[in-house]
């Protein structure tokens, strides 16, 4: 496949060019401050006021070893951030050990840069409401393993491209403050938004340690982060079995597309996460679950060569404060999880379990559509108090371990759309057949409203055009809408 370049061609360049007199929000800036050197850039930052927009001329800038571009004690406001922007998207290239180093600052927007540094870029805990948007990240492959680490509350990481890494390490980590909270427990950065980014071409060949996104870490698993990871595209992300590795609680992972990748979406540690409306296509693994009180709905998993959906067993029953480090690093069996309205189509293995000491328990598996000609459709190991309800199974693959009262076998009569997604046709027996009550969904993977009578699987039959589709490079990254 041809490598995707960041900025090529006059048409793309015309789109990427940002007028010097227009702020990112489209409103008039308090002051536009053009600069053409690192010294002038630093001076402009030092004197910047809320609403100022500092514009660095296109070119390649090498930050001297041991130095950085400091943003210290600078505070914009929610309506008038301090903005530091490349003259055109990708036009200002930052090389050297470091680029921007933030401290004691807030409401800062950094936009349009090509980052080529060798050490980690960090949003520290004393820097809330920092936005990184429309940047291109390709750090030195032999530098620090972690490219971007977020510890500050309210950060927004949107419309960036993280790409081409062959060594161990992670594109984007969300972490938390160094000091524990009032209850003595570790904390996470709050309310981080990761939106419309393109993650591609992580080719690390090891067995672990090459995730595009790691949302937390095992020691912070019980801390709520309230992060949102949505509308991101992952392509050829082969550095780890986990493309999105969730190791914290209370997060929403929705409307992402993972394509042609080894990694999937994994709730590795933590509780109360919602995984909704994601496409996992033509890669290896799909969604894998550990922990308690998750909701897994409206996901479409197709053409996966590994395990499409795993409801995990555990080496421990529940993570809890005070547990030993080996306990915390172990797998927490799934408890009180709802798995509903998902479509699993033509995967090597469909719905799977595992064999550890603690079986998953009190899990609801309802209104899912499973179609395959290989392996078995349901291959769960030991379970406790599972509820199986109106799942639809089809294909040459045997039913497997699903109990007889938990499914119906019928041809769902799917038809392919222009976007490659198989949706229900007008005569499908899945229409109006869902029974889970109360409902855990209000719309379907396309954005169509479910109504009071719902269909089995991720798609709700309608004749109107879909509002959401699998994402393409045109939908994400620096030039995204």
Distances, alpha carbon 456 to alpha carbons 277, 377, 403, 422, 436, in Å? 14, 16, 18, 13, 10
Q: Which CATH superfamily is domain 120-475 in?
A: Single-stranded right-handed beta-helix, Pectin lyase-like (2.160.20.10)
Asked whether residue 22 carries a pLDDT value surpassing 60, the answer given is: no
| 322 Cβ neighbours under 8 A, 6+ residues apart | none
Dihedral in degrees, nearest 10, Cα atoms 208, 209, 212, 218: 100
pTM attached to this predicted model: 0.93
Assign 249 to helix, strand or coil: strand
Q: 476 falls in which pLDDT band (50, 70, 90)?
A: very high
pLDDT for position 443: 98
The number of CA neighbours under 13 Å toward the Cβ of 36 is 0
Query: What does the pLDDT read at residue 20?
Result: 37
Tens digit of pLDDT for each residue in 102-119? 999 999 999 999 999 999
Distance CA 117, CA 106 (A): 23
* Listed residue (315, 218, 322) closest to 267, CA to CA: 218
pLDDT per position as a tens digit, 431-448: 999 999 999 999 999 999
Query: pLDDT tens for residues 48-99?
Result: 999 999 999 999 999 999 999 999 999 999 999 999 999 999 999 999 999 9
Task: For the chain, give the mean pLDDT.
Answer: 93
Beta strands in 169-306 (DSSP E): 170-174, 193-195, 198-202, 213-216, 228-230, 233-237, 242-247, 252-254, 257-259, 264-269, 274-276, 279-281, 287-289, 295-297, 300-302
CA-nearest of 352, 350, 353, 405 to 373 is 350
* Closest alpha carbon to 177 in 164, 166, 190, 165: 190
Interatomic CA distance for residues 14 and 18, integer angstroms: 9
With a cut of 50, say whether residue 25 has pLDDT above it.
no
Residues contacting 8, CB < 8 A, separation 6+: none
Q: How far apart are CA 324 and CA 235, in angstroms?
A: 37
Q: Is the pLDDT of residue 10 over 70?
A: no
**CA dist., res. 132 & res. 109, Å (int):** 6
Phi and psi at 264, nearest 5°, equal -125, -160
Q: What is the pLDDT of residue 327?
A: 84
Indicate the pairing of strand 233-237 with strand 198-202: parallel
């Amino acid at each position: 496949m041809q490598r995707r370049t960041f900025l090529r061609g006059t048409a793309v360049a015309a789109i990427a060019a940002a007028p010097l007199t227009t702020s990112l929000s489209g409103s008039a800036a308090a002051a536009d401050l053009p600069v053409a050197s690192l010294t002038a850039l630093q001076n402009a930052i030092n004197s910047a006021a809320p609403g100022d927009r500092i514009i660095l001329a296109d070119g390649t800038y090498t930050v001297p070893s041991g130095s950085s571009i400091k943003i210290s004690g600078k505070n914009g406001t929610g309506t008038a951030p301090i903005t530091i922007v490349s003259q055109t998207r990708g036009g200002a290239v930052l090389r050297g050990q470091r680029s921007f180093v933030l401290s004691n600052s807030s409401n800062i927007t950094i936009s349009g840069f090509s980052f080529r540094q060798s050490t980690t870029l960090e949003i520290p805990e004393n820097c809330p409401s920092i936005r990184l948007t429309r940047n291109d990240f390709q750090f030195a492959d032999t530098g620090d393993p972690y490219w971007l680490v977020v510890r500050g509350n309210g950060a927004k990481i949107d419309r960036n491209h993280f790409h081409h890494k062959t060594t161990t390490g992670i594109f984007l980590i969300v972490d938390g403050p160094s000091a524990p909270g009032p209850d003595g427990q570790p904390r996470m950065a709050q309310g981080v938004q990761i939106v419309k980014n393109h993650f591609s071409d992580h080719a690390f060949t090891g067995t672990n340690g090459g995730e595009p996104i790691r949302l937390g870490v095992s020691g912070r698993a019980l801390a709520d982060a309230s992060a949102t990871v949505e509308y991101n595209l992952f392509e050829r992300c082969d550095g780890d079995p986990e493309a999105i590795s969730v190791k914290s609680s209370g997060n929403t992972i929705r409307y992402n597309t993972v394509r042609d990748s080894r990694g999937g979406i994994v709730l590795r540690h933590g509780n109360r996460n919602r995984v909704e409306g994601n496409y996992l296509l033509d890669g290896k693994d799909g969604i894998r679950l550990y922990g308690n009180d998750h909701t897994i709905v409206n996901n479409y998993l197709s053409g996966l060569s590994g395990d499409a959906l795993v409801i995990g067993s555990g080496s421990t029953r529940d993570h809890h404060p005070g547990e030993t480090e080996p306990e915390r690093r172990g797998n927490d069996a799934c408890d009180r999880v709802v798995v509903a309205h998902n479509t699993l189509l033509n995967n090597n293995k469909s719905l799977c379990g595992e064999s550890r000491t603690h079986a998953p328990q009190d899990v609801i598996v309802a209104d899912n559509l499973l179609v395959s000609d290989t392996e078995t459709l349901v291959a769960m190991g030991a379970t406790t108090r599972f509820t199986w309800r109106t799942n639809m199974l089809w294909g040459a693959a045997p039913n497997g371990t699903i109990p007889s009262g938990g499914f119906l076998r019928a041809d769902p009569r799917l038809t392919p759309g222009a976007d490659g997604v198989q949706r229900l046709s007008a005569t499908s027996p899945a229409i109006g057949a869902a029974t889970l009550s109360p409902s855990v969904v209000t719309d379907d993977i396309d954005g169509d409203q479910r109504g009071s009578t719902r269909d089995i699987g991720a798609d709700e039959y309608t004749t109107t055009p879909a509002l959401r589709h699998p994402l393409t490079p045109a939908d994400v990254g620096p030039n995204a809408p």
